[in-house]
Structure 1
Amino acid sequence: MGESITHLKVPVEPEQRGTCLGPDGSVAHVSRVLGMISGRWKLPILFRLFAEPAMRTSQLLRDIPDLSQKVLTQHLRELESDGLVARRDLGRQPPHVEYRLTHAGLNLLPVLMSMREFSRSHSLDTVERSAD
Protein backbone atom coordinates (compact mmCIF):
# COMPACT_ATOMS: atom_id res chain seq x y z
CA MET A 1 0.00 0.00 0.00
CA GLY A 2 2.82 2.43 0.83
CA GLU A 3 4.25 2.00 -2.67
CA SER A 4 1.15 3.52 -4.27
CA ILE A 5 1.77 6.87 -2.57
CA THR A 6 3.52 8.76 -5.34
CA HIS A 7 4.12 12.02 -3.48
CA LEU A 8 6.69 10.20 -1.33
CA LYS A 9 8.70 9.38 -4.47
CA VAL A 10 9.99 12.89 -4.99
CA PRO A 11 13.43 12.69 -6.67
CA VAL A 12 15.42 14.24 -3.81
CA GLU A 13 17.68 12.80 -1.19
CA PRO A 14 15.74 11.61 1.88
CA GLU A 15 17.36 14.26 4.08
CA GLN A 16 16.22 16.95 1.61
CA ARG A 17 12.62 15.70 1.35
CA GLY A 18 11.45 18.53 3.66
CA THR A 19 12.62 21.01 1.03
CA CYS A 20 9.82 19.78 -1.18
CA LEU A 21 7.22 18.26 1.12
CA GLY A 22 7.79 19.93 4.48
CA PRO A 23 5.54 22.62 5.95
CA ASP A 24 7.75 25.29 4.39
CA GLY A 25 8.57 23.26 1.28
CA SER A 26 7.88 23.78 -2.40
CA VAL A 27 4.53 22.00 -2.33
CA ALA A 28 3.27 24.23 0.47
CA HIS A 29 4.35 27.42 -1.28
CA VAL A 30 2.91 26.47 -4.68
CA SER A 31 -0.33 25.34 -3.02
CA ARG A 32 -0.54 28.69 -1.24
CA VAL A 33 -0.24 30.60 -4.52
CA LEU A 34 -2.77 28.36 -6.25
CA GLY A 35 -5.15 29.04 -3.36
CA MET A 36 -4.68 32.78 -3.85
CA ILE A 37 -5.68 32.65 -7.51
CA SER A 38 -8.33 29.95 -7.32
CA GLY A 39 -11.85 31.12 -7.84
CA ARG A 40 -13.80 31.50 -11.04
CA TRP A 41 -13.22 35.24 -11.40
CA LYS A 42 -9.84 35.88 -9.77
CA LEU A 43 -7.76 35.33 -12.89
CA PRO A 44 -9.97 37.54 -15.06
CA ILE A 45 -9.76 40.24 -12.38
CA LEU A 46 -5.98 39.95 -12.16
CA PHE A 47 -5.52 40.01 -15.93
CA ARG A 48 -7.73 43.11 -16.25
CA LEU A 49 -5.64 44.79 -13.55
CA PHE A 50 -2.46 43.77 -15.41
CA ALA A 51 -3.84 45.58 -18.46
CA GLU A 52 -4.94 48.75 -16.62
CA PRO A 53 -2.93 50.39 -13.83
CA ALA A 54 -6.03 51.23 -11.76
CA MET A 55 -9.66 50.30 -12.19
CA ARG A 56 -12.93 51.09 -10.48
CA THR A 57 -15.42 48.40 -9.56
CA SER A 58 -17.80 49.54 -12.29
CA GLN A 59 -15.07 49.19 -14.91
CA LEU A 60 -14.29 45.64 -13.79
CA LEU A 61 -17.98 44.74 -13.91
CA ARG A 62 -18.27 46.13 -17.45
CA ASP A 63 -15.14 44.36 -18.66
CA ILE A 64 -15.88 40.92 -17.17
CA PRO A 65 -19.24 39.61 -18.43
CA ASP A 66 -21.47 37.61 -16.04
CA LEU A 67 -19.53 38.74 -12.94
CA SER A 68 -21.85 39.94 -10.18
CA GLN A 69 -21.16 42.87 -7.86
CA LYS A 70 -21.27 40.56 -4.83
CA VAL A 71 -18.73 38.07 -6.20
CA LEU A 72 -16.48 40.86 -7.50
CA THR A 73 -16.42 42.46 -4.05
CA GLN A 74 -15.72 39.10 -2.41
CA HIS A 75 -12.86 38.27 -4.78
CA LEU A 76 -11.35 41.75 -4.53
CA ARG A 77 -11.37 41.47 -0.72
CA GLU A 78 -9.68 38.07 -0.91
CA LEU A 79 -7.08 39.33 -3.37
CA GLU A 80 -6.50 42.32 -1.11
CA SER A 81 -6.09 40.16 1.99
CA ASP A 82 -3.62 37.97 0.06
CA GLY A 83 -1.60 41.09 -0.77
CA LEU A 84 -2.11 40.94 -4.54
CA VAL A 85 -4.50 43.90 -4.93
CA ALA A 86 -4.59 47.27 -3.18
CA ARG A 87 -7.78 49.24 -2.62
CA ARG A 88 -7.54 53.02 -2.71
CA ASP A 89 -10.38 55.19 -1.49
CA LEU A 90 -10.13 58.60 -3.11
CA GLY A 91 -12.42 60.16 -0.49
CA ARG A 92 -14.96 61.60 -2.88
CA GLN A 93 -18.72 61.70 -2.77
CA PRO A 94 -20.17 59.57 -4.19
CA PRO A 95 -17.54 57.02 -3.05
CA HIS A 96 -14.74 56.60 -5.53
CA VAL A 97 -12.58 53.50 -5.01
CA GLU A 98 -9.83 52.19 -7.28
CA TYR A 99 -8.09 48.86 -7.30
CA ARG A 100 -4.58 48.27 -8.47
CA LEU A 101 -2.05 45.49 -8.29
CA THR A 102 0.48 45.53 -5.49
CA HIS A 103 4.16 44.81 -6.06
CA ALA A 104 3.43 41.15 -5.24
CA GLY A 105 0.54 41.16 -7.71
CA LEU A 106 2.77 42.55 -10.45
CA ASN A 107 5.39 39.90 -9.65
CA LEU A 108 2.74 37.24 -10.25
CA LEU A 109 2.39 38.23 -13.93
CA PRO A 110 5.48 36.33 -15.19
CA VAL A 111 4.30 33.23 -13.31
CA LEU A 112 0.86 33.40 -14.91
CA MET A 113 2.37 34.04 -18.34
CA SER A 114 4.60 30.97 -17.87
CA MET A 115 1.52 28.95 -16.98
CA ARG A 116 -0.18 30.24 -20.12
CA GLU A 117 2.78 29.20 -22.26
CA PHE A 118 2.87 25.80 -20.59
CA SER A 119 -0.82 25.36 -21.37
CA ARG A 120 -0.33 26.38 -24.99
CA SER A 121 2.64 24.06 -25.53
CA HIS A 122 1.03 21.23 -23.58
CA SER A 123 -2.12 21.50 -25.67
CA LEU A 124 -0.08 21.36 -28.87
CA ASP A 125 2.00 18.43 -27.59
CA THR A 126 -1.13 16.52 -26.62
CA VAL A 127 -2.70 17.12 -30.04
CA GLU A 128 0.51 16.12 -31.84
CA ARG A 129 0.90 12.92 -29.77
CA SER A 130 -2.72 11.90 -30.33
CA ALA A 131 -2.26 12.38 -34.11
CA ASP A 132 0.71 9.95 -34.21
Structure 2
Amino acid sequence: MAARRGPYICGIDAAMDVVSGKWKSLILWELHHYGTRRFAELRRGLPGVSEKMLIQHLREMEEDGLLHREVYAEVPPRVEYSLTEHGVSLNAALAALGEWGAERIRRIGAEKVVVDVATA
Protein backbone atom coordinates (compact mmCIF):
# COMPACT_ATOMS: atom_id res chain seq x y z
CA MET A 1 0.00 0.00 0.00
CA ALA A 2 1.43 3.37 -1.01
CA ALA A 3 1.21 6.49 1.12
CA ARG A 4 -1.99 8.38 0.56
CA ARG A 5 -1.64 11.46 -1.64
CA GLY A 6 -4.96 13.29 -1.75
CA PRO A 7 -6.44 15.30 -3.33
CA TYR A 8 -7.09 17.18 -0.11
CA ILE A 9 -9.51 19.95 0.73
CA CYS A 10 -7.26 21.51 3.37
CA GLY A 11 -4.36 20.80 5.72
CA ILE A 12 -6.60 19.18 8.33
CA ASP A 13 -7.85 16.79 5.65
CA ALA A 14 -4.25 15.79 4.85
CA ALA A 15 -3.36 15.43 8.53
CA MET A 16 -6.43 13.32 9.29
CA ASP A 17 -5.54 11.07 6.38
CA VAL A 18 -2.31 10.20 8.19
CA VAL A 19 -3.74 9.80 11.72
CA SER A 20 -7.08 8.26 10.79
CA GLY A 21 -8.02 5.27 12.88
CA LYS A 22 -8.29 4.93 16.64
CA TRP A 23 -4.80 3.60 17.24
CA LYS A 24 -2.41 5.76 15.20
CA SER A 25 -2.38 8.77 17.50
CA LEU A 26 -2.04 6.41 20.48
CA ILE A 27 0.92 4.66 18.82
CA LEU A 28 2.51 8.10 18.32
CA TRP A 29 1.88 8.92 22.00
CA GLU A 30 3.33 5.59 23.15
CA LEU A 31 6.51 6.01 21.10
CA HIS A 32 6.86 9.64 22.15
CA HIS A 33 6.56 8.89 25.87
CA TYR A 34 8.45 5.62 26.06
CA GLY A 35 10.85 5.83 23.12
CA THR A 36 11.80 2.88 20.96
CA ARG A 37 9.44 -0.06 21.50
CA ARG A 38 9.14 -3.63 20.35
CA PHE A 39 5.83 -4.92 18.96
CA ALA A 40 4.83 -6.70 22.19
CA GLU A 41 5.62 -3.59 24.23
CA LEU A 42 3.41 -1.49 21.97
CA ARG A 43 0.61 -4.04 22.21
CA ARG A 44 0.78 -4.09 26.02
CA GLY A 45 0.81 -0.29 26.10
CA LEU A 46 -2.35 -0.10 23.95
CA PRO A 47 -5.02 -2.14 25.76
CA GLY A 48 -7.69 -3.31 23.34
CA VAL A 49 -5.72 -3.17 20.09
CA SER A 50 -5.75 -6.39 18.11
CA GLU A 51 -2.54 -7.80 16.67
CA LYS A 52 -3.94 -7.43 13.14
CA MET A 53 -4.89 -3.77 13.64
CA LEU A 54 -1.55 -2.90 15.25
CA ILE A 55 0.36 -4.52 12.37
CA GLN A 56 -1.78 -2.65 9.82
CA HIS A 57 -1.34 0.73 11.51
CA LEU A 58 2.40 0.24 11.99
CA ARG A 59 2.82 -0.56 8.29
CA GLU A 60 0.79 2.48 7.23
CA MET A 61 2.69 4.74 9.62
CA GLU A 62 6.01 3.46 8.30
CA GLU A 63 4.85 4.11 4.72
CA ASP A 64 3.77 7.61 5.72
CA GLY A 65 7.23 8.27 7.16
CA LEU A 66 6.05 8.61 10.77
CA LEU A 67 8.04 5.76 12.24
CA HIS A 68 11.14 3.75 11.62
CA ARG A 69 11.11 -0.05 11.75
CA GLU A 70 14.47 -1.58 12.63
CA VAL A 71 14.89 -5.32 12.08
CA TYR A 72 17.82 -7.01 13.81
CA ALA A 73 19.31 -10.17 12.31
CA GLU A 74 18.96 -12.26 15.44
CA VAL A 75 17.26 -15.53 16.32
CA PRO A 76 14.51 -14.95 17.15
CA PRO A 77 14.26 -11.77 15.05
CA ARG A 78 13.99 -8.53 16.99
CA VAL A 79 12.02 -5.62 15.52
CA GLU A 80 11.91 -2.17 17.09
CA TYR A 81 9.81 0.87 16.23
CA SER A 82 10.74 4.50 16.82
CA LEU A 83 9.51 7.89 15.68
CA THR A 84 11.07 9.64 12.72
CA GLU A 85 11.49 13.42 12.68
CA HIS A 86 8.22 13.55 10.75
CA GLY A 87 6.51 11.50 13.48
CA VAL A 88 7.95 13.73 16.20
CA SER A 89 6.63 16.84 14.42
CA LEU A 90 3.17 15.27 14.04
CA ASN A 91 3.18 14.37 17.72
CA ALA A 92 4.01 17.98 18.55
CA ALA A 93 1.08 19.12 16.39
CA LEU A 94 -1.23 16.69 18.20
CA ALA A 95 -0.14 17.96 21.64
CA ALA A 96 -2.77 20.72 21.68
CA LEU A 97 -5.45 18.19 20.78
CA GLY A 98 -4.24 15.99 23.66
CA GLU A 99 -4.47 18.93 26.07
CA TRP A 100 -8.00 19.65 24.83
CA GLY A 101 -8.91 15.99 25.38
CA ALA A 102 -7.44 15.95 28.91
CA GLU A 103 -9.52 19.01 29.77
CA ARG A 104 -12.60 17.26 28.37
CA ILE A 105 -11.90 14.22 30.57
CA ARG A 106 -11.82 16.53 33.61
CA ARG A 107 -14.87 18.51 32.49
CA ILE A 108 -17.16 15.55 31.93
CA GLY A 109 -15.75 13.50 34.81
CA ALA A 110 -14.80 10.60 32.57
CA GLU A 111 -12.49 7.90 33.74
CA LYS A 112 -8.97 7.85 32.39
CA VAL A 113 -7.32 4.50 31.77
CA VAL A 114 -4.07 4.25 33.65
CA VAL A 115 -1.44 2.09 31.98
CA ASP A 116 0.99 0.38 34.34
CA VAL A 117 4.34 1.55 32.95
CA ALA A 118 6.24 -1.14 34.87
CA THR A 119 4.54 -3.93 32.90
CA ALA A 120 4.31 -2.09 29.58
* Fold similarity call, TM over 0.5: yes
Provide the secondary structure at the position in 1 that maps to 2:82. strand
Aligned-residue RMSD, C-alpha: 2.2
Give CA deviations for 1:38-87 in whole Å, capped at 9, x if unaligned. 10111111100001220000001111111111110000000011110110
**Which protein has the bigger helix share?**
1
Match of 2:18 among 32, 36, 42: 36
For 1:40 and 1:119, locate their aligned partners in 2 and report how far apart those are by CA, in whole Å: 14
* Count of residues paired in the alignment: 101
RCO comparison, higher one (Cα < 8 Å, 6+): 2
Is the counterpart of residue 117 in structure 1 residue 76 in structure 2? no
Q: Secondary structure at the match of 2:65?
A: coil
Unpaired runs of at least 5, structure 2: 1-6, 109-120
Cα distance in 2, alignment partners of residues 96 and 64 from structure 1: 20
Q: Structure 1's 79 and 93: CA in aligned 2 closer, same or farther, altered over 3 A?
A: same
Mark the runs of 5 or more structure 1 residues left unpaired by the alignment: 1-22, 128-132
Q: Are 2:83 and 1:101 aligned?
A: yes
Q: What TM-score does the superposition give when structure 2 sets the normalisation length?
A: 0.74
Normalised to the residue count of structure 1, the TM-score between the two structures is: 0.67
